[in-house]
């Protein structure tokens, strides 16, 4: 059974299935699932099949998403289909595809329709739409999550293997958690938002729903990249996920700080996920999460509520009853803040950003948090729409304000058989790092995919080599995983390739008077030195200059010979610095030296 993006593409390339057959199966599944609230508009099946046959006729089977059916959230423009943002009175017909949609098509994907959402992408619940409530794929009484409700349900139900959503405050993560699928929230600016109807333009990003991390990454690779049409686009290195990083430090709230609002199943699921990550080699580090909660509370203050009112302001003035009642209540609030309120919030956010930067620079490499603290029924949300929605954003609302990237992955099923998920979070630009962790964790859960009761495919082995756009660099000291300067590598998009040793051609020194303490590696006559522990990292070529610019005397970047004879760029020292340095070659590596010094 071909369910995933990668399986579908492989079947199309091998000839065991055709894009037209896959398209016909997609529409048959939509009819069989029979949930009219998933799609706001759906292409005519004959048109979609004709497009698939035209793709086959071109014969370009090397396209990365060759013949893959994709659904698109209905606040993202698709030429020929109306953009409604789940508000019929607002609907318009776009003349052009959004940049992300255009890039999906260029990669061989076929767009089948536009999915339901919380109106104007305002909500985490999936029930604020005049087009109905998409059924949660595990329990129809429960909310599907939002605002990207239709996209997440379409993937979880196996109607499409891939869907675009959006994420401003968690809309690309919460519905993934409620439907046992992957939600990739990229770094801000990594995917163009040209053609996306804004919720909060300064925070918005287009997100990706898929059954596996590898599928989500395949889509990201196809759509990421700078776009001159989007003033918020950034030229950020995407990188490529490598092997599971070693000794990665994952932050979790201090005892008593994690919030579950009485949900013991979710609390138990989170503890089990932490234990699984520790078993996979991650270091779980408790941190003070309160500054992140404080940041989350800012989202519904001042400027960001005002931002939400911009798109709907004319409708609010001319026909307010055309807006969904809860959405209207929230957006009207955006008309009240003053410029002074906005600046006050900006000042507070900047202070909190400094706190966040310090956490990632000195304490952890990433955060691991529940995707949502609990879940609710549709009836509960209708009875208390504001407070319960706010609770669902406990672990999501701060993310875009702090320019973090996120990856929501399934973690377990509760005692009631409901999905529980975790989200990995890291500073912007480290999307590949999260994928490295998330894909291994998800595979280790052995959970079925979505609501399909189909096992995950065998996890592909990722190459442990630098890509064509990367440079391998060996580090021996403070840049090692978990040490003070490792964040410099990660912030530039570096990914760990391997832990190995040098050839036995080096003398290793502890340099005098450096802060933080640093070692020096000096090459000597072949075979007359020692083999020293190193980590080899892949660094994007675009970031290499910025990295070596931080290297000062007596250190320099040269060629380091590894134990297997390969030469890679790496840290070396000037011979003159050896005169007042301590020879620590016999210890074999910097970690051993630090351990001895601590003892």
* Catalytic residue positions, numbered: 73, 147, 171
To which residue do tokens 């889509």 refer?
219
Please, are residues 508 and 532 in contact by the beta-carbon 8 Å criterion?
Answer: yes
500 contacts: CB under 8 Å, gap ≥ 6: 533, 534, 535, 536, 562, 563, 564
Structure tokens at 132: 């109905």
SS3 content of the chain, % helix, strand, coil (to 5): 35, 20, 40
Instruction: Tell me the helices (H) and strands (E) count for the chain, helix number first.
Output: 18, 19
Task: Please give the Cα distance from 159 to 220 (Å, whole number).
Answer: 20
Task: Please give the Cα distance from 29 to 99 (Å, whole number).
Answer: 28
Q: Of 543, 566, 568, which Cα lies nearest the Cα of 557? A: 568
3-state secondary structure 117-173: CCHHHCCCCCCCCCCCCCCCCCCCCECCCCCCHHHHHHHHCCCCCEEEEEECCCCCC
- Is the omega angle on the peptide bond into residue 330 within 30 degrees of 0, that is, cis? no
Q: Is 287 helix (H, G, I), strand (E, B) or coil?
A: strand
To which residue do tokens 């529980």 refer?
420
Q: Is 498 helix (H, G, I), strand (E, B) or coil?
A: strand
Task: Please give the Cα distance from 256 to 235 (Å, whole number).
Answer: 40
3-state secondary structure 76-119: ECECCECECCCCHHHCECCCCCCHHHHHHHHCCCEEEEEECCCH
Q: Phi/psi class of residue 446: alpha, beta or left (left: φ > 0; alpha: ψ in -120 to 50)?
A: left
Q: Phi/psi class of residue 189: alpha, beta or left (left: φ > 0; alpha: ψ in -120 to 50)?
A: left
To which residue do tokens 């949900």 refer?
263
3-state secondary structure 404-472: EEEEEEEEEECCCCCEEEEEEEEECCCHHHHHHHHHHHHHHHCCECCCCCCECCCCCCCCCCCCCCEEE
Task: Please give the Cα distance from 19 to 462 (Å, whole number).
Answer: 27
107 contacts: CB under 8 Å, gap ≥ 6: 63, 64, 65, 222, 223
Task: Please give the Cα distance from 115 to 150 (Å, whole number).
Answer: 5
Structure tokens at 223: 């759509």
């Amino acid at each position: 059974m071909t369910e995933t993006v990668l399986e579908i593409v492989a079947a199309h390339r091998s000839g065991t299935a055709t894009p037209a057959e896959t398209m016909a199966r997609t529409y048959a599944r939509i009819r069989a699932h029979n949930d009219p609230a998933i799609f706001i508009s759906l292409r005519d099946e004959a048109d979609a099949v004709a497009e698939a046959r035209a793709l086959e006729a071109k014969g370009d089977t090397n396209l990365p998403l060759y013949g893959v059916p994709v659904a698109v959230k209905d606040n993202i423009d698709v030429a020929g289909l109306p953009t409604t943002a789940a508000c019929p009175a607002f609907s318009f017909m776009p003349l052009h595809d959004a940049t992300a949609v255009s890039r999906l098509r260029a990669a061989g994907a076929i767009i089948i329709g536009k999915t339901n959402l919380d109106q104007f992408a305002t909500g985490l619940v999936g029930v604020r739409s005049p087009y109905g409530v998409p059924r949660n794929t595990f329990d129809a009484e429960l909310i599907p999550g939002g605002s990207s409700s239709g996209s997440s349900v379409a993937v979880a139900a196996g109607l499409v293997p891939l869907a675009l959503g959006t994420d401003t405050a968690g809309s690309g993560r919460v519905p993934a958690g409620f439907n046992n699928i992957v939600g990739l929230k990229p770094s801000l600016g990594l995917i163009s938002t040209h053609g996306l109807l804004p919720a909060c333009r300064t925070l918005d990003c287009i997100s990706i729903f898929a059954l596996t991390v590898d599928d989500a990454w395949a889509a990201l690779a196809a759509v990421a990249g700078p776009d001159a049409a989007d003033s918020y686009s950034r030229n950020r290195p995407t990188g490529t996920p490598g092997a599971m990083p070693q000794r990665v430090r994952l932050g979790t709230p201090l005892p008593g700080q994690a919030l579950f609002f009485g949900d013991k199943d979710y609390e138990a699921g989170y503890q089990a996920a932490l234990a699984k990550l520790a078993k996979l080699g991650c270091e779980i580090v408790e941190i003070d999460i309160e500054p992140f909660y404080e940041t989350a509370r800012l989202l519904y203050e001042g400027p960001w509520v005002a931002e939400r009112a911009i798109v709907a302001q004319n409708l609010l003035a001319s026909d307010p009853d055309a807006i969904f009642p809860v959405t209207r209540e929230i957006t009207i609030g955006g008309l009240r803040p003053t410029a002074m309120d906005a600046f006050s919030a900006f000042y507070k956010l900047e202070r909190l950003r400094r706190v966040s930067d310090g956490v990632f620079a000195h304490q952890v490499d990433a955060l691991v948090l529940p995707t949502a603290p609990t879940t609710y029924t549709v009836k509960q949300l209708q009875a208390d729409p504001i407070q319960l929605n706010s609770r669902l954003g406990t672990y999501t609302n701060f993310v875009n304000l702090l320019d973090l990237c996120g990856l929501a992955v399934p973690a377990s099923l509760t005692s009631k058989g409901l999905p529980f998920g975790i989200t990995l979070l890291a500073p912007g630009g480290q999307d590949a790092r999260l994928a490295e962790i998330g894909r291994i964790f998800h595979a280790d859960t052995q959970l079925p995919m979505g609501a399909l009761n189909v096992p995950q495919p065998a996890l592909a082995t990722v190459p442990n080599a630098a890509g064509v756009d990367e440079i391998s660099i060996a580090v021996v000291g403070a840049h090692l995983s978990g040490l003070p300067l490792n964040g410099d590598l990660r912030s530039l998009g570096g990914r760990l390739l391997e832990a190995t040793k040098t050839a036995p051609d080096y003398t290793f020194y502890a340099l005098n008077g450096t802060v933080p303490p640093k070692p020096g590696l000096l090459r000597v006559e072949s075979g007359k030195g020692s083999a020293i522990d190193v980590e080899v990292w892949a660094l994007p070529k675009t970031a290499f200059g910025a990295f070596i610019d931080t290297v000062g005397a007596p250190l320099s970047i040269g060629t380091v010979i590894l134990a297997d004879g390969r030469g890679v760029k790496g840290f070396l020292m000037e011979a003159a610095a050896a005169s007042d340095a301590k020879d620590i070659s016999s210890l074999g590596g910097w970690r051993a030296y630090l351990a001895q010094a601590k003892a």
